[in-house]
Chains A and B, each alone.
Chain A
């Protein structure tokens, strides 16, 4: 074990021969001291002002579970259950705004608390202390890495899910008349979303046999060169598929930006607002809207 250091990627948490007799001792000691060490840990956590979004009771119950899992992982050498617990914990606390540095901070604090207590316990026998720390530290590092990575992975998973949900929510292509679809765009557009919008629009043109598409960007706050060019490409691609595109709802700010950027808008058919766009679309499609007698007052209500 001497001179052996955990390398990256961390090797499995093996029980080395020297650990065989030491680890049980170590684990038994940590179990015996659990109440005291947990309290020490909690006080260090609050000193460091970590996990501010959680109540002391919550912290205490999580601390108990993490501590037990931690010692189990030390004992068995298997981080699977700790990993599962870390994922589960992350899922619960991510939504409440717990940051990566806090999670890493509390795990490193626990590592510190335990190491100090081992030091106190075995300081009379430096050689034994050395061996104990040799078996403890690689395992503790591995556990810290496992918890940190689980948290980050979980957070990335949540972010991916949310991105997917936002993407799906934000790009409906709606058919409003025979051969006429509208694409209301709301929120910020980046180039990935712009590409996805285009794909959806082109597929909708094919599926609905649309001849006119109205792209409404009233809900878009700002636009840059890339996105503007993408919009032009979308209009051109729609034309290749035999559909005319009408852009509506350009805010004065966006109009100014497009002019400043010198985006070539000669191929674009733009109308002030969605209502105007629909009227223009109806004209292109040959629809005439007739105003009939108004409905009886009771049905208007």
Chain B
């Protein structure tokens, strides 16, 4: 899974449904790169996912918690409308992740939280 570096932030784009091992790999990769690049934030792009089930949601939360312990905030971007609807119907929680519409918005959220505020609202 490619992880791009953009200034102080890392960008990971998930292209297909994640298997168990891919999730762990992504989590470890991200945690390692956060330290390596002294990144302050991560954007995980899920635009290509048409399903986010409880496993994927837990995996993403794990990534967020792990990164947070390493000093980086995580923003999930690109959740599709029907995916969002399904997630709230199944009461899938994404704490402590932030969410934003797309990559651009995600980076804006990270810039704002890095300034000191901790709101995930616009």
Chain A residues with a Cβ under 8 A of chain B: 179, 195, 198-199, 202-203, 205-206, 209, 211-212, 233-234, 236-244, 284-285
Contact = CB atoms under 8 A, between A and B. Distances in A.
Contacts of A242: 77, 99-102, 105-106, 109, 122
B81 interface: yes
Nearest to B83: A240
A284 B88 contact: no
A233 B85 CA distance: 8
A199 B88 CA distance: 12
Nearest to B76: A240
B101 A237 contact: no
Given A198-B85, A199-B81, A241-B84, A206 B101 contact: yes
B122 A237 contact: no
B81 A211 contact: no
A199 B83 CA distance: 11
B7 interface: no
A241 B106 CA distance: 11
A202 B79 CA distance: 10
A212 B82 CA distance: 19
Contacts of B94: 240
Given A236-B88, A241-B84, A205 B122 contact: no
Contacts of B122: 179, 211-212, 242-244, 284-285
A5 to B, nearest CB: 51
B84 A237 contact: yes
Interface string B32-69: 00000000000000000000000000000000000000
Contact of B84 (A211, A212, A240, A244): A240
A226 to B, nearest CB: 12
Interface of A is mostly: helix
Interface residues of B, number: 21
A211 B100 CA distance: 9
B50 to A, nearest CB: 14
A202 B84 contact: yes
Interface in B100-122: 100-102, 105-106, 109, 120-122
B89 interface: yes
Given A244-B121, A284-B122, A233 B101 contact: no
Interface string B84-95: 110111000010
A124 B19 CA distance: 87
B88 A237 contact: yes
A198 B102 CA distance: 20
Contacts of A237: 81, 84-85, 87-88
A233 B79 contact: no
A233 B89 contact: yes
A238 B122 CA distance: 12
A284 to B, nearest CB: 6
B101 A205 contact: yes
A202 B81 CA distance: 5
A244 B98 CA distance: 12
Nearest to B109: A242
A243 B101 contact: yes
Contacts of A212: 122
Contacts of A199: 81-82, 85
